[in-house]
């Protein structure tokens, strides 16, 4: 074990895979010499050379388009989109090419591609550096979507993603890059802050895609969360005293529906928490699945707590996404229903 931040764990995952497999290549804007805007790739170019870790032009479409071609011909590209907000020019390549290649070619070609993206708010990045677009990917057949909540999972999930034969969208909560936080909206975490580190196993290991984790056991209510909202949910449950079971989804697709069903059928209540906009967010899919598969076990309506239905408000960032207060009220109201 070693104590690492999420940034260090992600870098370690790429380092491990580049050392094990010469077909793994890492590239993106400022990824090579500079080490990325958040330093996730720092030192990889010096260690593996400019053919394995390199900078690209400022063209997200070009980054992913080149990566799709590389993957089709046997390489395993792990590319970085500097912020998830910048992925829209590349969306056509992700959806129309990467996600479809296996099916369009009847299995003659696959696309073992990972697209890493810093996601979410909490760093005062404003509207163009704070979006949470996970629902745009979970809607697309052929993609896997991953959102880690801690350094150990980030490393194991990224290794699993790089080894996967199909394209994986790997969303990294910026708010967690330099360590966990206590969930409070009035204590912002920036990428340059110094915070408690997480225990991360050394060397190669995987956290299988499609498996969730129970972060807190309980019997009165189930909370479904992922990424930074896992920490918010933990704080809300502790401060309200609600005996909540908290499931960290880890991968949104493939989804660990079995674990969700087992928990909700035990507790009879469900609160879903995510940072992204409420309307058509991934929480709507979770709510539908709980309703469809656990209806006769529910003792109260499924509740969603999410970001506002508005463009990201820089001046009101810490009110925009759910904090322990908003989540705590939802827990108490659900228990009283």
Q: Which of 114, 150, 208 is nearest to 9 (CA)?
A: 150
Residue bearing tokens 């966990």: 180
Q: Are 118 and 140 in contact (CB under 8 A)?
A: no
Q: Which of 172, 77, 95 is nearest to 136 (CA)?
A: 95
Q: Provide the annotated active-site residues.
A: 129
Q: Are 264 and 249 in contact (CB under 8 A)?
A: no
Half-sphere exposure of 229 (CA within 13 A, CB side): 30
């Amino acid at each position: 074990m070693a104590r690492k931040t999420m940034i260090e764990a992600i870098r370690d995952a790429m380092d491990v895979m580049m050392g094990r497999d010469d077909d793994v290549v890492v590239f993106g804007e400022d990824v090579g010499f500079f080490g990325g805007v958040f330093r996730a790739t720092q030192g990889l170019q010096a260690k593996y050379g400019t053919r394995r870790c390199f900078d690209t032009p400022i063209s997200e479409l070009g980054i992913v388009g080149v990566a799709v071609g590389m993957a089709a011909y046997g390489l395993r590209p792990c590319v970085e989109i500097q912020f998830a907000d910048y992925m829209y020019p590349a969306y056509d390549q992700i959806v129309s090419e990467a996600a479809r290649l296996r099916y369009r070619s009847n299995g003659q070609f696959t696309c073992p591609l990972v697209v890493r993206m810093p996601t979410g708010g909490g760093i005062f990045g404003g509207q163009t550096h704070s979006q949470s677009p996970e629902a745009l990917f979970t809607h697309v057949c052929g993609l896997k979507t991953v959102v880690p909540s801690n350094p150990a999972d980030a490393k194991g999930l990224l290794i699993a993603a790089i080894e996967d034969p199909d394209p994986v969208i790997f969303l990294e909560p910026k708010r967690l890059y330099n360590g966990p936080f206590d969930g409070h909206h009035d204590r912002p975490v920036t990428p340059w802050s110094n915070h408690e580190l997480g225990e991360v196993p050394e060397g190669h290991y995987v956290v299988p895609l499609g498996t969730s984790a129970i972060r807190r056991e309980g019997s009165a209510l189930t909370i479904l969360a992922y990424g930074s909202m896992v920490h918010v949910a933990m704080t809300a449950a502790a401060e309200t005293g609600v005996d909540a079971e908290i499931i960290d989804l880890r991968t949104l697709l493939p989804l660990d529906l079995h674990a969700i069903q087992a928990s909700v059928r035990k507790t009879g209540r469900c609160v879903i928490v995510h940072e992204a906009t409420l309307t058509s967010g991934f929480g709507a899919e979770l709510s539908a699945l709980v309703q469809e598969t656990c209806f006769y076990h529910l003792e109260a309506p499924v509740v969603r707590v999410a970001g506002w239905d508005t463009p990201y408000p820089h001046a009101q960032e810490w009110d925009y996404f759910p904090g322990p207060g908003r989540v705590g009220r939802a827990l108490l109201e659900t228990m009283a229903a």
